[in-house]
Structure 1
Amino acid sequence: MPVAMMSFALVAAGCNDDGSGSDGAASPAAHAGTTGPAETSTQPPAPASSPPPTAPSSPAAPSDSGASAGADAAGPGRCTAEGLGMSVKRGDGGAGQVYYELTFVNKSGHTCALNGFPGVSLIQRDGGVIGAPAKRDGASHGTTVLAPGKAAHVVLHTLNQGIADGGCWKRADYLRVYPPGSKEALTLRDPQIRVCGDRFTTTSVER
């Protein structure tokens, strides 16, 4: 029967299309069946343009300004006799009072500080002390900071002749001054200071 034979041939041809034929390419399913199940990844694929991971940033190092602030907080060092200049001049007085302004100038190249009372004495040419060192007058004014070239002062106080008993001391050849806290002295020649009435005092350092 021609029709039946033709149907049988078509069925046989369909069976050959499953990849077992020599002239047909094997389907993906057929390859999978022959090589075993495909391996699956548990990690999602990385994006194609993913940037490389960056290391965690480390804490910033302290800046120089912070270190300087710490240094400034400690305050400047004490002014030394070597780093100071000194001068004296007579100031305004009245009612028998005599005042002298003793000035310190910072001649060093760095900021320094003076705090408290100086030691002030009148000295003879042979080095002997005239009378007694100046006594402290009043309370301390605290720390006075001097930048290079800046000045601070104290006020020396005595009396005019005849205002009080005791007469006048011999006129000094030198004025010897120990800045506050210093074991080294400054010396000024011929200071033109004369003490009378046994009154000789100094204030603390101030502007």
Structure 2
Amino acid sequence: MRRSNGAGRLPALSMVVAGVLMASAACGSATPVQRNGSPVGTAGDAAPIAAGDAAPITAGGARPADTAPIAAGGAVTATTGDAAPAAAGEARPADAAPAAGVAALPGTAAPGRCRTGALSARVGRVDAGAGQRYAPLVLTNRSSGTCRVYGFPGLVMIDRGGDALRTRPRRENVRPQGVTLRPGASAHFRMHWTEVPSGRETTCPAAARLMVIPPDETAYLTIPFTARVCGDGRIDLTPAAPGARL
């Protein structure tokens, strides 16, 4: 993808995000794609996406009160643990004792879905072997209320220059289950990719960050993700499951 220093770069990235939303969201939405609650990707946006993604994408875009500030390096509300923030100066999740995610009980009314502004994201420990990589993509409820995660997230890999890399999230044939998250609780999706070139590949592009769109949402989180993903950007995903570990 050709980089530019003008406004043309934002619509290009927005087209990538729009395609991911169509492929990953279980429910359609007419709401424009958002970044942590701020609308992005409209044709008149003059604010480019800066390298490191440290500035709001839309000029003057208001940020919701429950959304953590963007830390330098693009680690938006990303945590290295269930409680510890990933970057200095980053807001911690809501002060609440972590509780294990639990599936909704049959016959009980499920809470509303987890909105992007109520979540933090991170990639857990990567297990490696024979060129294969496995890691949990963890979403944690940092709000003061209970919410529900169901299905699969959308993903877009970003390189060090801020350009979108070809990303092919592939849903594994596993039946989704709703996961109810109390404040501080987490759900995870198992990610699998390979770092061994295949077919006509000689090298595989290096990702620096990962854009994560929670299930059924149109806003996204950006978190660190250092990996070389082969197979034309293929990342296999399982649906949401309770807890932060595989």
TM-score, normalised relative to structure 1 = 0.58
Match of 1:195 in 2: 229
Amino acid at match of 1:195: V
Identity of aligned residues (%): 35
CA distance 1:106–1:98, shift in 2 (3 Å): same
**How do 1:1-207 residues align onto structure 2 when only pairs under 5 Å count?**
73-125=108-160, 127-162=162-197, 164-165=198-199, 166-189=201-224, 191-198=225-232, 199-207=234-242
CA–CA distance in structure 2, aligned partners of residues 143 and 167 of structure 1: 40
CA–CA distance in structure 2, aligned partners of residues 147 and 114 of structure 1: 11
CA distance 1:125–1:192, shift in 2 (3 Å): closer
CA–CA distance in structure 2, aligned partners of residues 121 and 82 of structure 1: 18
CA–CA distance in structure 2, aligned partners of residues 158 and 192 of structure 1: 13
C-alpha RMSD of the superposition: 2.0
How far residue 86 of structure 1 moved from its aligned partner, in angstroms, is 0.8
Amino acid at match of 2:156: S
CA–CA distance in structure 2, aligned partners of residues 197 and 107 of structure 1: 34
Number of residues paired by the alignment?
Answer: 134
Contact 1:117 1:140 in 2 (8 A): no
Amino acid at match of 1:196: C
How far residue 126 of structure 1 moved from its aligned partner, in angstroms, is 5.1
CA distance 1:73–1:102, shift in 2 (3 Å): same
Higher helix share: 1
Q: Deviations over 1:120-176 (max 9, x none)?
A: 1101355432012412122233101111001110111111324x3334432123200
CA–CA distance in structure 1, aligned partners of residues 110 and 124 of structure 2: 31
CA distance 1:177–1:140, shift in 2 (3 Å): farther
Contact 1:168 1:195 in 2 (8 A): no
How far residue 91 of structure 1 moved from its aligned partner, in angstroms, is 3.0
Contact 1:122 1:133 in 2 (8 A): no
Question: Does 1 or 2 have the higher relative contact order (CA < 8 Å, sep 6+)?
Answer: 2
Contact 2:195 2:204 in 1 (8 A): no
- In structure 2, runs of 5+ residues without a counterpart are 1-106
CA–CA distance in structure 2, aligned partners of residues 173 and 98 of structure 1: 16
Amino acid at match of 2:231: G
Match of 1:3 in 2: none
Amino acid at match of 1:206: A
| Paired residue secondary structure (1:82) | helix
Contact 1:97 1:160 in 2 (8 A): yes
CA–CA distance in structure 1, aligned partners of residues 194 and 147 of structure 2: 33
